[in-house]
Amino acid sequence: MQRRFSILFAFFATALAIVVFGCPVGALAAWPDKPVRLIAVGTPGATADTVARVLAKGLRQATGQPFVVELKPGGSGVIGMSEVLRSPKDGYTFMVAINALVSEIPYSIKLPFDPAKEFRPIAELVQGGLVLIGSNSIPANNLTELLAWLRARPQGADFASYSAGTLSHVMGLQLSKATGIPLNHIPYKGSTPALQDVIAGHVPIMFDFPVTAVPMITSGKVKAYAMSSPQRSNTLQDVPTFAEEGLPEIAGVAWIGLWSAANVPQPAQDRLRAETLKVLAQPSVRERFDRLGLNVGRSLSQDELARGLSSDYERIGEVLRSINYKPEGQ
């Protein structure tokens, strides 16, 4: 009788694990025992792509299993997020994406799901301020000259963003409000196509992440005017902060994180988080990110990251309401 009870208990425990977690308990203990997908929400060569590949290399070395980066740009992040949500919740599909997917983008587009409920941050990978860059066709070599040039455009100048509703977009709105200069928003599907149009002179200015902006700045393809971070970037020591230029209200730091669908087994999330923090602690990884103008993310817990996202969502909402922001088309 006792043996029969033990067998039944084991059967129902395994069945419950499959229903709740999507895989048997034993499979969780062996995680990962096959390749893991990292869905990078961004264009080729952009920040999420670059960071995901650095992380994937470190995780493969740590676990002995491939971590395969798959790019899913477009749709203001909806395409990438939807791919993760469609995938089995077995701990073999995760996402690398900017915090704006939870804290900013919901203000600009109507999402088919609530990202704050459907996704859980595992770790903050990198963070950094945005840099205001401009086309070489602009005859301005510092922020004061740039603002004078912008004021001379009676119909207002255009500014690009890497996606509507992100910090790249919000910074442009803040610049317009702080200076009284009308600016027209031109959204793109990622940093790469936006940068191409800035370089070509089709759009004069843009707020961008250092990962994609720094190579264009150092090669002389665009000009850099100011940083939104509290301190100057180690990579762009000659570029002042907005606070130094007398515009402290233009401030903000974005971060790229590792995310999980909310109902992925917690043991898999815990193991992935532990290995990720080890990768981020490696001197070679820190040096690589530093050269890209990024700081390694804070080692906050998952709950702390979630609370921070909620706070950022409220703060961004206040900014957008203060300038009577309306999403395009409304």
Task: Tell me the domains of the chain and their CATH numbers.
Answer: 34-127+254-320 (3.40.190.150), 129-252 (3.40.190.10)
**Residue 63: per-residue pLDDT:** 96
Instruction: Please tell me whether residue 152 adopts helix, strand or coil conformation.
Output: coil
| Secondary-structure breakdown of the chain: helix, strand, coil percentages, each rounded to the nearest 5 | 45, 20, 35
| Mean pLDDT score of the chain | 88
pLDDT (tens digit per residue) in 40-92:
998 888 889 999 999 999 999 999 999 999 999 877 789 999 999 999 999 99
> In this predicted structure, what is the pLDDT of residue 252?
86
What are the residues whose beta carbons fall under 8 Å from the beta carbon of 105, sequence distance 6 or more?
76, 77, 111, 115, 163, 164, 165, 166
Confidence at 29, pLDDT banded by 50, 70, 90? low
pLDDT of residue 74: 79
pLDDT-above-90 percentage for the chain: 65
Report the C-alpha gap between 24 and 230 in whole angstroms: 47
**327 C-beta neighbours (distance < 10 Å), count:** 12
pLDDT tens sequence across 97-116: 999 899 988 888 888 899 99
Rounded Cα gap, residues 188 and 202, in angstroms:
13
Neighbouring C-alpha atoms within 13 Å toward the C-beta of 192: 12
Task: Taking residues 192-200, report their average pLDDT.
Answer: 95
Give me the pLDDT at residue 256, please: 95
- pLDDT above 70 (res 25): no
pLDDT at 28: 55
State the pLDDT at residue 5.
42
Q: 254-275: buried (b, 16+ CB within 10 Å) or exposed (e) per residue?
A: bbbbbbbbeebbeebbebbbeb
Lowest-confidence segment of 124-133, 143-152, 284-293 by average pLDDT:
284-293
Higher-confidence position of 1 and 256: 256
Which residue has tokens 């191409």? 196
Structure tokens at 217: 């700045």
* Two structure tokens written together for 93: 């599909």
Cis status of the peptide bond prior to 121, with omega within 30 of 0: no
Is pLDDT above 50 for 38?
Answer: yes
Q: Which amino acid is at 185?
A: H
Model confidence at 328, in pLDDT bands (50, 70, 90)? low
Q: 0.85 exceeded by the pTM?
A: no
The reported pLDDT for the residue numbered 211 is 85
